[in-house]
Amino acid sequence: MRKDQSLGEYLFAQGVSRRGFLKFCSATASLMALPPSMVGRVAAALESARRPSVIWLSFQECTGCTESLTRSHAPTVESLIFDAISLDYHHTLQAAAGFAAEEAREAAMQENSGKYLLVVDGSIPMGNPAYSTFAGISNLDMLKETAANAAAIIAVGTCAAFGGIPHANPNPTGAVSVSDIIKDKPIINVSGCPPIPVVITGVLAHFLTFGSIPDLDELGRPKAFFGQNIHDRCYRRPFYERGQFAKTFDDEGARLGWCLYELGCKGPTTYNACATLKWNEGTSFPIGSGHGCIGCSEPDFWDKGSFYRPISAGLWGSREALLGAAAAGAAIGIGSALAARSRKKKAAAEEAKSS
């Protein structure tokens, strides 16, 4: 696709009919969690949308987010949107390496100064710049340099959005999130470990369609996908209401698909679109497959106790500590009773003496 072509022109040049374009817009609107009544607006916007330049920086990450995004082999809506953006730099997907790759990045940044999208996955180590570098440049420097002239930053995955697994106790590399470092650019946090692919492309599609940032919640996540918690959209909710819980992973309740609260499901405190959009083109999601939600789109989810400990059980420490408190309390009680009794005895003795 030529850079100066609009998306509409690109699709028509590919032989896509207007009908096909409308189908594409319907699916894109659905992907962006927009109501069907917005399809017309989406069509009008996409017709004239220009290809944004996108620079993708991968820091301390496992590449799961890129994998999540690129799993489709065929032209799905996601890949069409991906084609619609001009991905000018991406470690895993690009053919170039070494100096050529860095030159491509710098050229893209200069050409599109102030207009390119910066996508980041992975956290940034602050402990020692040498923990994660490429081309001899530390992640911190590369982030600051590339963010300086970006239009907006999309922090893809819980690592980039909140620090993720490197940030988990004891955080040996001093990992931090993108928003801990960049304070002067709009940042969209698309969290999840990994995020649902359509959520990533939905955010890109929103940018493509409207040229703006979607509405964000107080953690900087697009409300369209992270506005509801899993518990409120979970199809197993009626079982929760009726008090029907699976007690183990293979008991009768589990086989009947009952609520997984007792097996540690973090659905009530997790905000994501898994319960509605689901994974693998709407096939299923962890709860649908019988495993409780682990809360992977929330900050510090690795440090909130076991994935299998129910939310209400709390993290109150060890039973030994409580037994110790009981023993201490009883001891003080005995001590104070004995002291009181000896005072009483002394008083009685004095009274007997004086009378």
Partner 1 sequence: MSALEGIAVRVEAMSGNVMPLLHEIRHALRRVAEGGQGTTIDLGSLPMAPGEDKRIEEMLGQGEVRAELNALGPTLVQETRYPGVWFITHRNTEQEVIARFIEVTRMPELLLAQADDMRRAVSELDLTLNSGNGQVSHDDH
Partner 2 sequence: MTLLDFARGPALQLSLVILIAGSLWRLVGTILLNARKDLSRPRHKSALADGMKAIATRSLPAHVFEKRIRFQHFSGYAWHIALFVSVLFFAPHILFFESVLGFGWPGLPNGIILATAAITIAILVALLIRRASHPVQRLISNADDYISIVLVIVPLVTGILAFAHVGGRYETLLAVHLLSVEAMFVWFPFGKLMHAALTFPSRFQAGSSFGRKGVRA
Q: Among 319, 352, 354, 355, which residue interacts with partner 2 (rule: CB under 8 A)?
A: 319
Q: How far is the CB of 271 from partner 1 (least distance, A)?
A: 14
Contact call for residue 233 and partner 1 (CB under 8 A): yes
d(Cα 32, Cα 170) in Å, to the nearest integer?
37
d(Cα 186, Cα 179) in Å, to the nearest integer?
9
Q: Which does 321 bind (CB under 5 to 8 A by kind): partner 1, partner 2, none?
A: partner 2
Q: Among 5, 9, 10, 30, which residue interacts with partner 1 (rule: CB under 8 A)?
A: 30
d(Cα 73, Cα 70) in Å, to the nearest integer?
8
Contact call for residue 346 and partner 2 (CB under 8 A): no
Say how far residue 284 (Cα) sits from the centre of its chain: 18
Output helix, strand, coil percentages for the chain, rounded to the nearest 5.
50, 15, 40
Q: Which does 261 bind (CB under 5 to 8 A by kind): partner 2, partner 1, none?
A: partner 2
d(Cα 99, Cα 53) in Å, to the nearest integer?
20
Q: How far is the CB of 112 from partner 1 (least distance, A)?
A: 29
Angle between helix 197-210 and 39-48 (nearest 10):
70
DSSP 190-208: E-SSS--HHHHHHHHHHHH
Contact call for residue 268 and partner 2 (CB under 8 A): yes
Q: How far is the CB of 230 from partner 2 (least distance, A)?
A: 11
**How many C-beta atoms surround the C-beta of residue 139 within 10 A?**
24
Spell 150-181 as b/e; 16+ CB within 10 A means b. bbbbbbbbbbbbbbbbbbeeebebebbbbbeb
Structure tokens at 97: 């390496």
Q: Which does 288 bind (CB under 5 to 8 A by kind): partner 2, partner 1, none?
A: partner 1
Q: Is there a contact between 226 and 188 (Cβ–Cβ < 8 Å)? A: no
> In this structure, what are the phi and psi dihedrals at residue 236, rounded to the nearest 5 degrees?
-90, 5
Q: Among 229, 258, 275, 277, which residue interacts with partner 2 (rule: CB under 8 A)?
A: 229
Contact call for residue 3 and partner 1 (CB under 8 A): no
| Closest residue by Cα to residue 62 from 152, 174, 164 | 164
Contact call for residue 258 and partner 2 (CB under 8 A): no
Contact call for residue 333 and partner 1 (CB under 8 A): no
What is the size of the binding site for partner 1 (CB under 8 A)? 43
| Non-local CB neighbours of 32 within 8 Å, separated by 6+ positions | 42, 202, 205, 206, 209, 214, 224
Locate all alpha helices (DSSP H) within the chain, ordered by sequence.
Answer: 7-13, 18-31, 39-48, 64-69, 77-84, 98-111, 139-147, 157-162, 164-167, 178-181, 197-210, 223-226, 230-233, 237-242, 252-255, 319-354
Contact call for residue 276 and partner 1 (CB under 8 A): yes
Q: How far is the CB of 71 from partner 1 (least distance, A)?
A: 11
Contact call for residue 329 and partner 1 (CB under 8 A): no
Helix (H, G, I), strand (E, B) or coil at 189: strand
Could you give the string, one character per residue 281-320, with x where binding to partner 1 holds by CB under 8 A and - elsewhere? xx-x---x-x------------------------------
Could you give the string, one character per residue 289-308, with x where binding to partner 2 holds by CB under 8 A and - elsewhere? ----------xx---x----
Q: Among 256, 333, 346, 349, which residue interacts with partner 2 (rule: CB under 8 A)?
A: 333
With contacts defined by CB under 8 A, name the span among 122-130, 166-174, 275-283, 332-340 that binds partner 2: 332-340
* 58 vs 270 by CB, closer to partner 1: 270
Q: Which does 233 bind (CB under 5 to 8 A by kind): partner 1, partner 2, none?
A: partner 1
Residues lying near partner 2 in the complex (CB under 8 A) are found at 229, 231-232, 240-243, 245, 261-262, 268-269, 299-300, 304, 309-317, 319, 321-322, 325-326, 328-330, 332-334, 336-338, 340-341, 344
Residues lying near partner 1 in the complex (CB under 8 A) are found at 16-20, 22-24, 26-27, 29-31, 33, 35-37, 39, 72-77, 80, 233-236, 238-239, 255-258, 275-277, 281-282, 284, 288, 290
